[in-house]
Amino acid sequence: MRVGQGIDVHVFSDDPDRPLVLGGVIVPEGPGLAGHSDADVLLHALTDALLGAAALGDLGTVFGSDDPRYAQAPSSVFVGEALRRAGQAGWRLVNADCTIVAQRPRLAAHRVYIADGLHRVLGVTPGTVSVKSTSTDGLGMIGRGEGIACLAVALLERVPAG
């Protein structure tokens, strides 16, 4: 078995029309996050955890943060490709655990909705991925409501041969 971890942080966007996307689903409260792709901070952290567990590099080097192909791209592309590459290297996902760190919006009520979306995006059995949320009690950049961070851990196991 192999474990990997990922972390990502995005600042909120000034664009009031930009949706907040977490785990591939839109959280209606917003505000949206700034970034080259859809700025899905949860999927970015999870992608890095998957790539890390399989020792296949990281989000920036695999996909290129200024590659025009990924401008406004849904981050499901990244996590799907990370899963595919891990699979090609002989690994499959056992489970993953994600913690979203946000002062705003309050995400506790959306946790299950986000997790459901995430399972659809990954094409894995419900219960494979856990989504948790916390705040920083008003401390620091997250506490001042300037953006959202996410931490993720993923466990992979060898696909049995044959």
Binding residues for Zn ion, rule: CB under 5 A, are 8, 44
- Least separation in angstroms between residue 8's CB and Zn ion is 4
Residue closer to Zn ion by CB (options 8, 23) is: 8
Residue labelled with tokens 């901070």: 41
Q: Give one DSSP letter per residue of the chain, joined into a string.
A: -EEEEEEEEEEBPS-TTPPEEETTEEETT-PPBPSSS---HHHHHHHHHHHHHTT---HHHHH-TT-GGGTT--THHHHHHHHHHHHHTTEEEEEEEEEEE-SSS--GGGHHHHHHHHHHHHT--TTSEEEEEE--TT-HHHHTTSEEEEEEEEEEEEPPP-
Residue closer to Zn ion by CB (options 44, 119) is: 44
- Least separation in angstroms between residue 34's CB and Zn ion is 10
- Least separation in angstroms between residue 67's CB and Zn ion is 14
Residue closer to Zn ion by CB (options 67, 159) is: 67
- Least separation in angstroms between residue 142's CB and Zn ion is 15
- Nearest position to Zn ion, beta carbon: 44
Residue closer to Zn ion by CB (options 8, 119) is: 8
- Least separation in angstroms between residue 44's CB and Zn ion is 3
Residue closer to Zn ion by CB (options 23, 159) is: 23
- Who contacts 123 (Cβ-Cβ below 8 Å, separation ≥6)? none
